[in-house]
Amino acid sequence: MWELRSTIYHSQTENFVMTNREHREVFGTRLASFFALAILCAMLVAATPAAQAQTFTILPNFTGVPPDGANPYAGLTIDPAGNLYGTTRNGGAGNGMVYQLKHTNSGFVFRPLYVFEGGNDGAFPEDRLTIGPDGSFYGTTVDGGGAPPEGVGTVFNLKPPPAACKTALCPWFETVLLSFNQANGSEPHREVTFDQAGNLYGTVASGGQRDDGAVYELTPLNGGWTESTAYSFSGSDGLDPIAGVIFDNMGNLYSTTQLGGSCGYGTVFQLVPADGGWTESVLYSFAGGSDGGFPAAGLIFDPSGNLYGATTHGGTGSGGTVFELTPSNGSWIYSLVYSFSGPPKASCGPQGSLVMDGAGNLYGTTFCDGAHGFGSVFELTPSGGGWTYTALYDFTGARNGGYPYGSVVFDSNGNLYGTASIGGTGSDCDDGSLDGCGVVWEITP
């Protein structure tokens, strides 16, 4: 296994087909209680898909053999030098890891940066890393952080060693900024975000005053961090926030909740600073019809201040949607951008946030639709007042990967990178999967 650390990975275009298996369940037991309310909400209209195959490159195959990782749920983070960073939920010592793909003239060199022990340092990272104002990396784990009632997730900081590494195996240093304990929340699934003052924000799916989820804030103080709850959800205003948050130029926060709202299918919300706290507004409540439902992905802004996001469920194709919210006279107008095809109620749509390039094209991944039912990489191009869909790649679930959860990222040359949570040549996966331990992939223009 150790020779993997100094291996240069080159292109290996693969095309395999294998039998589909049940995709990972993404909702908790609270989901069922909302379907009674959902039948009161109206259904909307859908769109028509198109497809175009592309060639892509497999980077590392995760093997699950310690200390290698397994099952990269998160997307990737890229630094100014073109190096890629990510996390695997499993593998390492069994509790996940952080890794780097160092960019070289010949390709990428893979090496582990930190292996979680599963105790106070956290366990099972599912989010991509955030580069903080100090240039170091910040992230979350959905488990670990201490003994019960702690041990339900952490926010951590990861820094390189103070001296330059002289070997490929040179672990970074981790500091836990916050250990969740049910009272202050649990299950931080997505990446964290900084405001202009250096405060850190994120969401927890459970916790808050009513245990319906919350937005938390970490403020740097005397070399440490002070935690506070920015907002606690109550169901009608949203429930189960699992996406990260974003800021506008005025310092307002935006994100989605997976459940709740007037129809039970989730919301888009805004938090506005007010009197030392935050005031929440629901910008849109999903009806579960052609408008979509159960958004797991976060939001992005375009240069004009419009919001774009995605849902895992609904649409006339039943495979989730991409949507736009446009500000208008103090409110927001919903527009359907695209409706994916997929099994009814399977929540196969995008799990990760969208990415927009300089030309205004949108990119992302779907979890379990596509030509083979293992997800896809897609592009949406503005055209004639609408959008044209292109399937850049359809996963097959074998050596080329399957079930991508995370967002995609571009490098300075326009190459597109992402992860798939299963597939590849590995077989020692902590989740018991027989479908491989996951891959990192690249699509070139």
* pLDDT tens digit sequence for 30-67: 444 444 444 344 333 333 333 444 678 999 889 888 88
Phi, psi of 9, rounded to the nearest 5 degrees: -95, 130
**Residues 190 and 127: beta-carbon distance below 8 Å:** yes
Inter-CA distances, 126 with 59, 112, 166, 195, 199, Å: 20, 16, 30, 22, 22
**Residues 60 and 86: beta-carbon distance below 8 Å:** no
pLDDT at 209: 84
* pLDDT tens digit sequence for 336-376: 999 998 877 678 999 999 999 999 999 999 999 899 999 99
**Residues 321 and 339: beta-carbon distance below 8 Å:** yes
pLDDT at 432: 58
Give the residue-averaged pLDDT of 302-328: 96
Which residues in 47-136 belong to E strands, given as ranges? 57-61, 69-70, 77-78, 84-88, 90-91, 97-104, 107-115, 130-131
Q: How far apart are CA 261 and CA 288, in angstroms?
A: 11
For residue 150, name the pLDDT band (cuts at 50, 70, 90): low
> For the chain, give me the number of helices (H) and strands (E)?
1, 31
> Token pair of 377, please?
């990489």
Give the residue-averaged pLDDT of 374-383: 96
Give the residue-averaged pLDDT of 407-435: 85
pTM over the 0.85 mark: yes
pLDDT at 149: 58
> Which sequence spans correspond to the domains of the chain?
49-443
pLDDT at 38: 44
pLDDT at 170: 78
pLDDT at 307: 98
CA angle 218, 82, 441 (to 5 degrees): 95
For residue 72, name the pLDDT band (cuts at 50, 70, 90): very high
pLDDT at 107: 86
Mean of all residue pLDDT scores within the chain: 85
pLDDT at 65: 85
Q: What CATH number has the domain spanning 49-443?
A: 2.130.10.130
Residue with the bigger pLDDT between 406 and 67: it is 406
**Residues 137 and 150: beta-carbon distance below 8 Å:** no
pLDDT at 60: 85
Residue with tokens 């201490």: 146
Whether 433 has a pLDDT exceeding 80, the answer reads no
